[in-house]
Structure 1
Amino acid sequence: MNYRHLFIYFLTLFPIAPGLYSCKSTKKEASAYVLTQDPPFSILEAYSQPWTAGIPEGGSGIQLHITFETFSEDVVIQTFFFRNKKTNAQLSPQNRNKYVGYFTNMVRGDVIMDSDPLEEAKNSPPKAFPFDLKDDEAVIGYLQQGEVKYTLISEIEQKPMLAYPQSNTKNTP
């Protein structure tokens, strides 16, 4: 094989190699999320409830409420994955067996929009969502004996939207 053929070979392989490498790393990252079939807890109630603020600047989102009937003392509920979003699970102050996930509908403010393609290339690509979920499914991420585990829950009831009223900012009697 002469040097010209070798040069052409490397010239065609060089642009393809980074793409193949990135596909391999994506598969490895997605395989880190393995669902367990028999979680160490049982769920009493699971529902979602969309909400919207009374003013345009107030935003909107969905709250995911999960009340556990029982769970082991060595379990720490950490995250919720729901409708292609991830959030931290927060313990409800009213009920120590209830956790709430707050998913807000926010527009990304860190996106660079420019007529120069080199400036727009500085945007980071969105991360792939690790689960293929239906609208009434969620994944609970929890810590048990130092190991992070995930389990799927289905048939999440959707309650009617909460429309928070517009607050009156003027001091009128």
Structure 2
Amino acid sequence: MSGVQDLEVKEFYAQDWVAGVCGGGSGTNVHFTCNCGEDLQLERVYYKKGVANVQKKGNGSYVARFRGKANSFEEMERMRGLRDPDAEERRPRPPSPQVVIPCDISEGQAVITYKRGSQGEEGHFKVDRVEVRELIPYM
């Protein structure tokens, strides 16, 4: 792992999940534990072309939650034929915002962004190897 000296990531893993009820959703939660200086505010995690806000869980534990499209109500309706797939194509919608990752990352890597000090100086920390844990199928 590379980045600032006062940010030490001890554990970093990603875990996919899917709800056990139709339309309950799916996603990937990225969990990590770290020691960071008091002047660092962890902001976001970039992983697999996506971005999610960091939430503090306590005792140096953090999570970033990435929502998936599988098992969503819209996807279930489309798969059952209850939703006209062509209607989605015809509906005008704003362009999807492109996620701009602050540095180059490869498959199996991630980036944590942070702000430092009273001036809010921005920086990032690259995680070189993301452990991938087994899917959680909630029932």
Is 1:61 aligned to 2:36, yes or no? no
CA distance in 1 between partners of 2:49 and 2:31 (Å) = 17
Q: Which runs of 5+ in 1 are unaligned?
A: 1-35, 166-173
Provide Cα deviations, 1:83-124, integer angstroms capped at 9, x if missing partner: 1111110011xx3201100101137x8x9642xxxx63xx22
Aligned residue for 1:54, secondary structure, equals coil
Instruction: Provide the TM-score with structure 1 as the length reference.
Output: 0.62
Instruction: Provide the TM-score with structure 2 as the length reference.
Output: 0.75
Equivalent of 1:104 in 67, 73, 83 = 67
Query: Partner residue of 2:80?
Result: none
Higher relative contact order (CA 8 A, sep 6+): 2
TM-fit CA distance, 1:126: 1.8
Contact persistence 1:87–1:102 (CA under 8 A): yes
- Greater helix fraction, Structure 1 or Structure 2: 1
Query: Partner residue of 1:38?
Result: 4
Is 1:81 aligned to 2:11, yes or no? no
Is 1:155 aligned to 2:129, yes or no? yes
Q: Which runs of 5+ in 2 are unaligned?
A: 75-86
Provide Cα deviations, 1:105-162, integer angstroms capped at 9, x if missing partner: 137x8x9642xxxx63xx2222222234333111111110111212211111001000
CA distance in 2 between partners of 1:41 and 1:150 (Å) = 10
CA distance in 2 between partners of 1:39 and 1:142 (Å) = 13
Output the aligned Cα RMSD.
Answer: 2.2
- Greater strand fraction, Structure 1 or Structure 2: 2
Identity, in percent, stands at 24
Number of equivalenced pairs: 119
